[in-house]
Structure 1
Amino acid sequence: MAKILVVDDEPGIAFSLESDLQAEGYEVAVAGDGAEAVRRSRAEAFDLILLDVMLPHKDGFEVCRELRQTGLSTPILMLTAKTEEFDKVLGLDLGADDYVTKPFRTRELRARIRAALRRQPGGGLGPDLQRQLRAASEVQQRLFPRLRPNLATLDYAGFCQPAQEMSGDYYDFLDVSPGTLGLLVADVVGKGIPAALLMASVHGCIRTHSPRLGDCCGEVLARLNTSLYEATDAAMFATVFYAVYHESSRVLTYANAGHEPPVLLRHQACHAVCDSLDSQTPPVGLLAALPAVQTSIQLFPGDWLVIFTDGITEAPNENGEEFGRERITSVIARQRGGTADEMRDAVLAELRSHSRGVVQKDDVTLIAARVL
């Protein structure tokens, strides 16, 4: 039995939807505002969310964006009385899977719900396995950072959108020591449950070693490599970019183990001249020993660092053309005057526009950071 969250502040509409969906055999929960919707979506496992756009305090667009930023992959159907193309496109760009215009026809809504549930990973599994998969997904989502340690000289934001119920991508913000922040993005080979299990190992190992080793990023990845190599076979490995930022000096120390090179846009670059923080070693988990290699660079106010996985650069459009580094660099240059949240949203909006009509096949993860 699929479990659906109905989010609508009009009691009559919420009651009507609840009654109709229960008659169809669905388990239904109701939230009356955006804040409650976010709280319940994080605390409970739902198969689908029916989300009204016009909500008090926190509208449906904001709710959708907030849920996607936490890595929640549950299908979202937006209910809207707005018919303008801009509003529909905005909802889809923020991560909604579909929309239904009010007043809606019951048969159409039922059909769209069935279609969304069929598209959801695990939709062909039995109820018990679906429930276990949802529970595992909820546990995994709690591994992603919920808080951002406040730094006076760095504005930063992250995002992860799994291609399946479970993610093989991982990002983290690590409170290494007072005034020192760790930024990490990892991409585990493969997808689904095996990749998610390895991702959890990466999370645990990084969280264990980063406070002890300070800005010794290379040593952190060397120890992560040993842990994965001893616990997995040669077919399982991960690319990792790990950096430590010092609030007072604005120095960034980083190590890159086979990961997609992040983009560094310098504040004095007038024509979007970017640097790439290239890989220094193979991915972690492939070799018995990994050299502890790292680099330190001085950053300045206005510099941008954007770390991402190849789920962004290799995302195809309907013609098979990949999104590529050139597009992401162009977005960074255009949005350089904004906040980290705005930069993250701009990159994702450009990606969704490029990939519209194409099923997402790889996890999408990024961190955007601006030096203040």
Structure 2
Amino acid sequence: MRNPRDLVILAAGRLPQGRYGGSLAGVGALPLGVSAVEGLLADPALPRPGNLIWGMARSHTQGMNPARTLALKVGLPSDTPAFTINMACGSSLQALILAAQRLGAGATAPILAGGSEAMSDTPHLVPGLRWGFRLGHRQLPDVMFQDGLRCPVTGLLMGETIERLAVKRGVTRLEADAWAAESHHRAARADFLAEQLPHPDLHHNESIRPEITPEALARLAPAFDPRGQITAGNASALSDGAAALLLARREQAGEAPALARVLGWSEAGVDPLDMGEAPVPAVQRLLTAHGLTVADIDLWELNEAFSAQLLVCQRQLGLPEDRLNVAGGGVALGHPIGATGARIVATLVHQLRRRGGGLGVATLGIGGGLGLALLLETE
């Protein structure tokens, strides 16, 4: 039975994802967000949002509170509240969760949630310049590393934590490379038409390589440890992108049909050294709270920050490969940090609908040892 207070997704889409230094380089995270939101709200049947919650993990140079600028640039009224979230990889999924919580608590209008990231445009910093330099050399910290890829708690790059986790959980280089190749092949075969929003500079997902093979990946040198297994080929591609979703209570939808119903969400924390397996307790809590098992879920979207990390989670949870990242994942499509949570939800919604509907879970691990998971059902 459809309840007027059901939390529903009325629209879900994302831009084509550009490779690092590719077609979207130089555009900027805020303009990417503008393109995504304008594309999403182009449907006149959709009700107008009364609030905007936006994820962005690398907001340097994008101005104060980019969400507010975004709301105004897409033509929302000046009385529309908006705020920006930085939860690293979980930024835009947390934005969606917060939107759902506010709607459940009585928000009077639909809420737009999503995220954008321009990894190609992250700047270098010049610490100390404000008060002047005298003698000696100075460093130019890379925001990509300083505020994104390096854990401030452990001091390790994300890839270094996955090297440790792969050894701990027994995932091999051969297995990671095989999954990476499969991710590219699935993405190359996938139909993204329903979820993809237009951008004038890019019409396809720029990082997908349908010709890639495990044998070719095996020739790549390890990126973090000469004896390790993480390479540029079995890690997520650095990329630029944006994704957006419109959430509402069913009673606020007007004539717009609901794509999916949001049933619940969960959060979890683990030791920062085990960041990559944080989706495991998040998913377990989510399923337990709803009286479900892995077998009840029709499709899974688990962000591929690294192939080895995905395999660690997949094996601990017992996820069937034929229901997991059926359209490829971050290794092939890219992982624009602040946009990825919304991207995997958009993909999940539309891939479920292509297959006749059902239950889906979107989940990801977050630097610092956090995990998020979301349960939805397509209409």
User: Could you state the TM-score of these two structures normalised by the residue count of structure 1?
Assistant: 0.25
Q: Tell me the TM-score normalized by structure 2.
A: 0.24
Q: Which structure: greater strand fraction?
A: 1
Higher RCO, 1 vs 2 (CA within 8 Å, ≥6 residues apart): 2
